[in-house]
Amino acid sequence: MRMKYVLSEVLVGLWRNVTMTVAMIITMAVSLFMLGGSGLLYQKVGDMKDLYYENVQVSIFLKTDVQEQQRTDLETKLKADPLVKDVTYVNKDEAYKRFQQMYADAPDLVNAVKADQLPESFRITLNDPQQYKQIYDQYKTAEGIDTIVDQSKLLDKVFGVLTGIQNGALALAIVMAAAALLLVANTIQVAAYSKRREVAVMKLVGASNWFIQAPFVLEAVVAGLIGSILGLLALISVKTVAAGSSMAALEGLITPISWSEIFLTFPLMAAVGGVVSAVTAWVTLRFYLRV
Amino acid sequence: MTKTYPKASRPSLDNVSVSIEKGEFVFFIGPSGSGKSTIIKLLLHEVTPNKGRVVVNGKDVTSMRSWKRPHFRRSIGCVFQDFRLLPNRTAYENVAFALEVIGKTKAVARRVVPEVLELVGLGGKEHRYPHELSGGEQQRVAVARAFVNRPLILLADEPTGNLDPDTSIEIMRLLDRINRTGTTVVMVTHDSNIVNQMRRRVIEIESGRIVRDQARGVYG
């Protein structure tokens, strides 16, 4: 009986103030969408870092007039280096082939460049990509070397952008969460005001505190959960739209986000939505009803 | 026992000591602001004294934790000048509400509520809404609500303040009947007519001090 009473009070409460309820749910949904999105991005950036940095290479380009002896010395030295995992030598012909491949859609450029003009190079995979600096310091003065290029420098820039997007989404999620919080507090105050007579009688005749608070707290929790479901739907539609559009081209570059990963963020969103709403409602009631 | 409200220049009740026996009928009288309503608030544990103790039903409520208050209040019934009924509920529902929110089932309410409405003289008017009832009838509903849980104490804060003299007398007869069931009745009033007619114990308060405590007393 009491459960039925509480539940019907929750529904009545949500309906009584439906515009406020909708505003609360939408704000909550956007906030949780941002939160879920930034959570996914965080995971993805981690995955991609593992993947890319593992394959990252340091290229040591040799001078065009490098001597045979200098090259062999360098190769021996690199192969003996404990920091180095793997060394590949790329001669002029191979470099030209790679160049042709890379600029296949710019035949003018390919025709203008001769195999002779491209430098020989060593492609080095490091045991730990972070140790690039040591390799650089060690070999920059070696004879016959033109430049040392670290691919991870480029990756750093890419990941810098991705991390920036992620932080932006998180910051937005927090701002929206603050707005959602205030809306919850306000909705609960309005609800408590519209039921002030009932509350006064309940307090007078000795209804327990949880019984007085439960309808209000549950009202906020229900709104929070609906918000998290809408947030999930937003994530799903973003993935659907992205998969069908130009974003699909990026799939090769960015590790794709799977459906299961999207659905796994839902418990997080639902928990945050529910708990934040419940706590806000409870604190509001303590101040407002003094129960 | 002394109670001073924050920001008040003088105590609302100053060194007051009163003992009320079980089953008594007591009037607290005195001019507005004399501190008589503070008595009700202290007994309800709505406020706590700054000095001294308040003992209700053998329990020291002075240091009672607030989470125990709901259960404590179930042994006290309360009637006010402004009735405090829920306007969107019928007489029956108003009384049943008080039972249901403290965990009684609908079945219990169906058995007990008509009984108590009959007792206060509202038999046949169970399904009227407060606006369909006269002031006296509304106050009867409030009394029924206060009494339905068979409290040990009934507190009445100027229950006749909004009623005409004849209706007031009827309400007093009802309170008297409730008192005869063994319920202690504590009533705050400045209705001299009623006090003079009832001839019960009268405690007069002025500026926070007891100036008179008289068995079978009159108002002035």
Between strands B76-80 and B153-157, the pairing is: parallel
- Structural contact between residues A25 and A223, judged by C-beta atoms closer than 8 angstroms: yes
Find chain A residues with C-beta within 8 A of B145's C-beta.
Answer: 201, 205
Percent of chain B residues topping a pLDDT of 90: 71
pLDDT tens profile B155-208: 999 999 999 999 999 999 999 999 999 999 999 998 899 999 999 999 999 988
d(CA A69, CA B46): 97
Q: Are residues A169 and A258 in the same domain?
A: yes
Domain of B125 in residue numbering reads as 85-150
Cβ neighbors of A95 (< 8 A, separation 6 or more) are A115, A118, A119, A120, A121
Find chain A residues with C-beta within 8 A of B97's C-beta.
Answer: 198, 201
Q: Are residues B143 and B159 in the same domain?
A: no
Is it the case that residue A1 has pLDDT exceeding 60? no
A203 is a domain residue: yes
As given in the structure block, the two tokens for residue A210 are: 């949880």
d(CA A159, CA A152): 10
pLDDT tens profile B120-137: 999 999 999 999 999 999
Interface contact A202, partner B, CB < 8 A: yes
Using CB atoms, which residue from A1, A2, A201 is nearest to B98? A201
Q: Are residues A43 and A166 in the same domain?
A: yes
d(CA A258, CA A254): 12
User: Which pLDDT does position A291 carry in this prediction?
Assistant: 57
Chain B residues whose C-beta is within 8 A of a chain A C-beta are: 67, 69-74, 76, 78, 84, 86-87, 97-98, 100-103, 105-106, 145, 149
Give the pTM: 0.74
B80 is a domain residue: no
B1 is a domain residue: yes
A210 is a domain residue: yes
Give the minimum alpha-carbon distance from A277 to chain B in angstroms, rounded to a whole number.
23
User: Which pLDDT does position B172 carry in this prediction?
Assistant: 95
pLDDT tens profile B16-42: 899 999 999 999 998 888 888 899 999
- Structural contact between residues A13 and A219, judged by C-beta atoms closer than 8 angstroms: yes
User: Which pLDDT does position B177 carry in this prediction?
Assistant: 95
- Structural contact between residues A212 and B99, judged by C-beta atoms closer than 8 angstroms: no
CB contact under 8 Å between B86 and A197, yes or no, is: yes
Q: Domains in chain B: how many in total? A: 2
Q: Are residues A113 and A77 in the same domain?
A: yes
CB contact under 8 Å between B84 and A209, yes or no, is: no
**What separation in angstroms does the CA of B82 have from each of A197, B25, B91?**
12, 22, 15
Q: Are residues A35 and A72 in the same domain?
A: no
B27 by Cβ neighbours in 10 Å (0-12 / 13-18 / 19+) ranks as: buried
Task: Using alpha carbons, select from A205, A194, A13, A249 the residue that is nearest to residue B154.
Answer: A205
User: Which pLDDT does position B72 carry in this prediction?
Assistant: 93
C-beta atoms surrounding A111 within 10 Å = 9
Half-sphere exposure for A194 (CA within 13 Å, toward CB):
14
Find chain A residues with C-beta within 8 A of B72's C-beta.
Answer: 206
User: Which pLDDT does position A114 carry in this prediction?
Assistant: 77
Cβ neighbors of A248 (< 8 A, separation 6 or more) are A242
Q: Are residues B100 and B128 in the same domain?
A: yes
Cβ neighbors of A242 (< 8 A, separation 6 or more) are A248
Percent of chain A residues topping a pLDDT of 90: 20
d(CA A103, CA A276): 54
Q: What angle do CA A119, A121, A123 make, to 5 degrees?
A: 150
CB contact under 8 Å between B84 and A203, yes or no, is: no
- Structural contact between residues B189 and B31, judged by C-beta atoms closer than 8 angstroms: no
Q: Which ipTM did the prediction report?
A: 0.89
Between strands B55-56 and B209-214, the pairing is: unpaired
Give the minimum alpha-carbon distance from B137 to chain A in angstroms, rounded to a whole number.
18
More confident residue, A111 or B203: B203
Q: Is B184 helix (H, G, I), strand (E, B) or coil?
A: strand
A151 is a domain residue: no
Interface contact A196, partner B, CB < 8 A: no
Q: Are residues A76 and A172 in the same domain?
A: no
A181 is a domain residue: yes
Is it the case that residue A260 has pLDDT exceeding 70? yes
- pLDDT averaged over every residue in chain A: 83
CB contact under 8 Å between B72 and A206, yes or no, is: yes
Q: Are residues A235 and A284 in the same domain?
A: yes
Of B134, B150, B166, the residue that ends a domain is: B150
- Structural contact between residues A224 and A181, judged by C-beta atoms closer than 8 angstroms: no
pLDDT tens profile A185-200: 988 888 888 889 999 9
| HEC profile of A216-227 | HHHHHHHHHHHH
Which candidate in A6, A196, A204 is best for mutational testing of the B interface (most B CBs within 10 A)?
Answer: A204
Using CB atoms, which residue from A198, A207, A209 is nearest to B67? A209
- pLDDT averaged over every residue in chain B: 92
Q: Domains in chain A: how many in total? A: 2
d(CA B2, CA B38): 11
Domain of A24 in residue numbering reads as 2-52+156-288
Find chain B residues with C-beta within 8 A of A202's C-beta.
Answer: 101
Q: Are residues B120 and B102 in the same domain?
A: yes
Q: Are residues A39 and A85 in the same domain?
A: no
d(CA B41, CA A222): 37
